[in-house]
Chain A
Amino acid sequence: MQMSKRNQFLLLGMILLIGLFSFPGIACAAETSYDNSGNLTFSSIGLAENPDSILGAALPPQPTLGTNLKLTDNLTITPDDSVTVKLRLNYLINTLLDPNDTNKFTLSRGYLDFSPNSLVSLRLGKQRLAWGTGYAWNPVNILDEPRNALTDNDDPEGITALRTDLYLGPVTTQIIIKPSASWESSDRAIRFKVSPAGFDLAYGLIGNNAGQTDHIFDFAYSFSGIGIRGEAFYQAEGNWRNDKKDILNYLVGVDYNFPGGYYLALEYYHNDSAFKDIPELLTYIAANSLDPITANGLITNLSNNGGIVRDHLFLRAMKTIGENFNTQLVFIYNPADQSVVVQPQLEYTWRQNTTLFCKLLYLNGGLNSEANISPIKSQLELGIKVNY
């Protein structure tokens, strides 16, 4: 059973309060150190609706021009060497979103980390696990909120969980409990990670809230200068629409740095848990939950509802020009329906803490293709980001 946002927030607050007062002197320790940082982003967005969208017009209709203001603040409190409290607060005003949701405050991180010795640490509260080695997608990272494949440092909300890290010899073991209304409906996971001879290897088991056991595996390796990585998620007799079938989602990827500062990453993602029949999607949810900033909400939401389709190829090319310019091209291709998502991006950094950016997003595809579902055809975003 999923907890509502409100209940999650209350749970988090309780956890933090319990944590703070469970450790004598934490809140008022004389040696407590504080660290605060964050950024402010403002952008203007123009978009063109997709006249061929098979979902029809979004409800309510999307405006074609809008603004986005996002403030992110990170506060880290360290009462002593063994305890850390971290809060990440986001405040978002987005005039392109649902009018009921334009003004949004979220706590994307809020946890207490307790590390009494070098062998064990506990983390309680809203956090991210960030499992997996893939750049665009992480099929093994199924307990976290999905990440945006188009944005390299996307910061989704954390999940409320109790996490234990054990450092025994070369093996790091994570034990996770993501609570729900009852123990049976809570997600439980254990994951082992080792780094032998240049490899990063991880294997885990997840007991999910449907009573099934998922297997996850990921690796990373560098061979002749080429970064090689992969991930796999396997569920035997998983729920697939009204049927049962084995589900295997996997990703393989490579990246390489070419002389002259060119960087290229390529990933292939296969998603077995997808529906094949797009028109049977929960179209209302899909159409109204779109993230108009990146249109990735389409992919995310369809994925959450079993709608994202089959296989995807991801390409990212980057090149820094001179001292201040950074260019990037992201390209996502769905070979099954020939649809594409293209996102070129240009950034100019001024005085190290201020970045001007320009992103263009374009989707194209034939009838019933993934791009054909989107109510957005193209989008241009101009903005400024200030770090402090």
Chain B
Amino acid sequence: MADAQDDAAHLMDDIDPRLLDLLRTRINTFIKWDLVRFFHANPHTADTAENLARYTGRDVRVVEPELRQLAQAGVLEVETLADLRVYTLTADNNTVALLDSFMRACDDRQFRIKAIYHVIRSLRRERERP
């Protein structure tokens, strides 16, 4: 079992280290992946968790913590307007360029399979954490 996991882990070896790091530390769930895809495709979005959940067809209770983590990771920015927490894509050009590389890499099926594998591993590790 451990060997099989190690073999599978080798699949990640040829991924651009910057993208691998992005997958390990920032886009480590499918919901984050969806949100990043949405913000990448619609980069001037400025909205609340409730509306972003609606746009991505998900439950706000699930989406809000993920948005918060993306903001903590510097992928998004969050601003408080009156009593609203408004999320926008980061203005940091390096991060935007990295996300652009990630989304372009996702056009390749082989990359997507590897990325999906990695996210599943991250989720499993999270679930198994005591």
Does B associate with A?
no
